[in-house]
Amino acid sequence: MSTKTDKIDRLGELSVVKQDERGVSLWAEAFRQLRRNPAAIVGASILALFVLISIIGPWLAPYSPTDTMGIREGVIKPGLIPGPSAEHWLGYDHQGRDEFSRMLVGARQTLLVGVISTLIGLTIGALIGGIAGASAGLGGRFGRAVDGVLMRIVDMLLALPSLLLAVSIAALLGASLTTVMIAVGMVSVPVFARLLRGAMIAQSGSDYVLASTSLGVKKSKIALTHILPNSLAPVIVQATLTLATAIIEAAALSFLGLGNPDSSIPEWGVMLADAQQYLGARPGLAIYPAVGIIITALGFTLLGEAMREALDPKLRK
């Protein structure tokens, strides 16, 4: 666990350096590097396409994702699920629904799962980390005690394997898409909390904090208006990386039967879970959503790693 927490704390130090030798702001220099980074360009292109499909996919779908036309037309038979054709580009699923339409509509649900679960983890983690960081950096002896209590709770969550923690939460709350979002979001809470705490503690020793304190500015105002905004760089990087893992973990929970029990609502993780019973008849039913999840996670990972390299003072060129 110490290695895991050390890596998180190290990422929290990214916000300490805000300018390079030429006086260019950290964000401007980072954006300049991202534009020249092939991995960032590929990752951003993948995500732009994914978001575009998520937005306009339901209007592009040639058929209703819930219409069991294959059964109605009698083309679905025991042990036989028709594959791709001119009318149905990815064929039918096991209930006679158009697979291509379900992939397009399911992209929106997959994006919602990733974004909402990340926002849950970010909100709760930032609240805990912000209180702990401000208390440790500006709160004196009492603040350090508050920070100690909060961090011990965070460390206990961080010590548990992420998938085990997500499965435990999902099992307690019952199978649903909302449960998946909450479970995946709670897994990322300790990471965000430690990141923001470490960044705020590092910022608390800056000259501008000392100057503000000497001028009599309230510590709460210093923490909210000065330290917190300058500590968000590593949190933003981690949020991008968390989106990738959130999509994968949500698919894992759906595969274990803890996702949305209503399979008529297309979502890539649920589609992948449903396809496991029909791998012999139609392996494409598992391949299509799996490839979509992998490519989307790859896009978030490439962009997140490129942002980390651009924002880390020790890695910037």
Segment 197-224, tens digit of pLDDT: 998 998 888 888 888 888 888 888 888 8
Q: What is the pTM of this model?
A: 0.82
105 CB neighbour count, 10 Å cutoff: 23
Confidence of residue 8 (pLDDT cuts 50, 70, 90): low
Segment 120-142, tens digit of pLDDT: 999 999 999 999 998 988 887 88
Distance between CA atoms of 292 and 287, rounded to whole angstroms? Answer: 9
Q: Is the pLDDT of residue 240 over 60?
A: yes
Confidence of residue 316 (pLDDT cuts 50, 70, 90): low
Q: Is the pLDDT of residue 192 over 50?
A: yes
Contacts of 144 (CB under 8 A, 6+ apart): 135, 136
34 CB neighbour count, 10 Å cutoff: 19
Confidence of residue 19 (pLDDT cuts 50, 70, 90): very low
3 state DSSP class of 92: strand
What is the DSSP annotation of the chain?
A: -HHHHHHHHHHHGGGG--B-TT--BHHHHHHHHHHH-HHHHHHHHHHHHHHHHHHHHHHH-SS-TT--HHHHTT--BTTB-----SSSTT-B-TTS-BHHHHHHHHHHHHHHHHHHHHHHHHHHHHHHHHHHHHHHHHSHHHHHHHHHHHHHHHHHHHHS-HHHHHHHHHHHH-SSHHHHHHHHHHHHHHHHHHHHHHHHHHHHTSHHHHHHHHTT--HHHHIIIIITGGG-HHHHHHHHHHHHHHHHHHHHHHHTT-S-S-TTS--HHHHHHHHGGGTTT-THHHHHHHHHHHHHHHHHHHHHHHHHHHH-TTT--
Distance between CA atoms of 93 and 81, rounded to whole angstroms? Answer: 7
* From 157-171, 250-264, 278-292, the region with the lowest mean pLDDT: 250-264
- Average pLDDT, rounded, for the chain: 84
Segment 49-104, tens digit of pLDDT: 999 999 998 898 999 888 888 877 777 777 788 888 888 899 888 888 999 999 99
Q: What share of the chain in percent tops pLDDT 90? A: 26
If we measure between CA atoms, which residue out of 159, 133, 163, 167 comes closest to residue 147?
A: 133
* From 79-83, 166-170, 177-181, 226-230, the region with the lowest mean pLDDT: 79-83
Q: Tell me if 196 sits within 8 A of 131, measured CB to CB.
A: no
